[in-house]
Amino acid sequence: MAEPAAGAAPVLYPYQRRYLADASRFKAGMWSRQTGKTFTTTLEAVLDVLQAEAEGRVARWTILSVSQARAIDAMEAGVKLHLRAFKAAFQALEMPMEADELAQAVRLPGGSYIRAIASKPSTARGMSDNLILDEFAHHQDNRAVWTALLPVVSKPGLKLRVISTPNGVGDKFHDIMTAPDGVFSRHVVTIHDAVADGLPRDVEQLRRAMGDPEAWAQEFECQFVDAAAAWLPYELIGACESAEAGDPQGYGGGPCFVGMDFAARGDLTVIAVLEEVGDVLWCRELIELRRVSFAEQLAAFDQVMRRYRVVRAALDQTGLGEMPVEEAKRRHGMLRVEGVLFSPARKLDLATALKQRMEDRALRIPPRPELRADLHSVKREAGATGAPRLVAERSEAGHADRFWALALAAAAGQGQRLVIAPFEAAPRHPAWDDDDFTRRAGAWSRY
């Protein structure tokens, strides 16, 4: 698009005009970077409110952006730019949304408005306007946002616009763009499509500057490249799933490795138990605890140590994990229990051990949707030095807690192997007299 001079209406390229001419109630756009996604969708909202004002009606639009900074940019470089180009009168203001949040907004003389705010499920739940989901594939927990939105868009007459570049396979934007149901009118604009329609861009220069074929395919050619962001692609996760995994009754008495990710407040505490069968680690149990005390978390760990022939356990010792890990070492021995501090380098080592196991098809996990989503939630980003760094967004389902418990268990399976002789219960520590804790004590031998 060509930005308008002061007082002039915007000049649009054919792909933008095609999008604006589509009056479908549900409309999705998957556009390349640098092709004017936000510019075009905010223009549609401005045209709608101007028409409503001319007809004596009221039209309301809300833009849900990936961040507050993006919301402000959508208003300044989109909505206000267009209104000024049409010489429309408007009032810029801030609208209260929740107790601690304000939406950037413009209100027209007849009562129509357009507002923009950072997206999250609780905000989306209160909507009753036409909606624009800007860069929806990059919204935090976009499935939860979508669930909160459905009652809103079911109201007759309201319009929904979903526009984004891809962000890998498996999120809600991927579902929208690939579903066979035909609910959405879809517009796909690659960088090649935009240039063919007259957008002045040097495609080859951009491709060389990107220097990453997967990132180029995703950001500019609108391909859903799973490996571009996810540490564990869905294809790899699916290849390691087995209906026989995850059942404690399947335990055959072999040596086991345990990973435990401690949590406080909303995240999950997860204990993963992997039994070694030949050269494959089988997940025998995945224990998930939410909002329980550290005493209860340790009690669950003690039960695992009693039920299975645990060779080694790796426990997250970062932050609040310091105290429970030291207690676990006291009860079960420092040779069996290892505390792991989650530095960026150590997290990468743990994740690499898990990924290598899966690539070698040497891990079996249960086929559970929540586990699949959790494993896929860890993303790979470039750090300040260029080295990969792993991140996972916190959502209502947790913070990749199942991923890290499995990674800790897989890492525990590396290195020197030890087995435990029969054990006896040891006295409880005085500080834990209110809990029924036991401790294994016994001789160690190598095999």
pLDDT tens track for 308-361? 999 999 999 988 888 889 999 999 988 899 999 988 888 888 998 899 999 999
Q: What is the residue type of 85?
A: A
Task: Give the confidence band of 169 by pLDDT, cuts at 50, 70, 90.
Answer: confident
Distance of CA 325 to the CA centre of its chain: 28
pLDDT tens track for 138-155? 887 788 888 888 787 778
Going by C-alpha positions, the residue among 380, 375, 399 that lies closest to residue 241 is: 375
- Do 284 and 377 have their domain in common? yes
- Do 222 and 239 have their domain in common? no
Residue 167: give its domain's CATH number.
3.40.50.300
Whether 4 is in a domain gets the answer no
- pLDDT (average), residues 11-26: 95
Contact 101, 117 (CB under 8 A): yes
Contact 92, 106 (CB under 8 A): yes
CA angle 367, 292, 330 (to 5 degrees): 95
Distance of CA 68 to the CA centre of its chain: 18
Whether 2 is in a domain gets the answer no
Contact 225, 168 (CB under 8 A): yes
- Do 282 and 408 have their domain in common? yes
- Do 360 and 213 have their domain in common? no
- Residue 64 φ then ψ, to 5°: -100, 115
Q: Is the pTM of this model over 0.75?
A: no
One DSSP character per residue, 245-296 reads: TT-GGG--S-EEEEEEE---TTSEEEEEEEEEETTEEEEEEEEEEES--HHH
- Do 191 and 324 have their domain in common? no
111: left (phi over 0), alpha (psi -120 to 50) or beta: left
Whether 161 is in a domain gets the answer yes
Q: Which domain holds residue 52?
A: 14-226
Residue with tokens 């006295």: 427
Give 7's DSSP letter.
Answer: T
- Do 214 and 245 have their domain in common? no
- Residue where one domain finishes, among candidates 168, 195, 226: 226
Neighbouring CB atoms inside 10 A of 441's CB total 15
Per-range mean pLDDT, top range of 88-97, 135-144, 192-201, 312-321: 192-201
Give 253's DSSP letter.
Answer: S
Strand, coil or helix: 136: helix
- Do 159 and 44 have their domain in common? yes
- Do 246 and 345 have their domain in common? yes
Residue with tokens 């209906």: 243
- Residue where one domain finishes, among candidates 167, 202, 226: 226
Segment holding 237, helix H or strand E? helix 234-239
- Do 214 and 290 have their domain in common? no
Task: Give the confidence band of 47 by pLDDT, cuts at 50, 70, 90.
Answer: very high
Whether 142 is in a domain gets the answer yes
- Do 110 and 254 have their domain in common? no
Q: What is the residue type of 293?
A: S
What percentage of the chain exceeds 90 in pLDDT? 53
Number of domains in the chain: 2
Q: At what angle do helices 344-359 and 401-412 cross, to 10 degrees?
A: 80
- Do 206 and 298 have their domain in common? no
- Do 220 and 283 have their domain in common? no
Distance CA 342, CA 317 (A): 8
Whether 5 is in a domain gets the answer no
User: Who contacts 111 (Cβ-Cβ below 8 Å, separation ≥6)?
Assistant: 58
Q: What is the residue type of 94?
A: E
User: Who contacts 180 (Cβ-Cβ below 8 Å, separation ≥6)?
Assistant: none
In the predicted structure, residue 435 carries a pLDDT above the cut 80: no
Burial class (CB in 10 A: 0-12, 13-18, 19+), 54: exposed
What pLDDT shows up at residue 210? 78
Residue 411: give its domain's CATH number.
3.30.420.240
Strands, E, within 72-220: which ranges? 91-98, 101-107, 113-118, 130-134, 160-164, 185-189
Strand, coil or helix: 389: strand
Q: Residue 258: beta bridge partners?
A: 273, 313
291: left (phi over 0), alpha (psi -120 to 50) or beta: left
Whether 350 is in a domain gets the answer yes
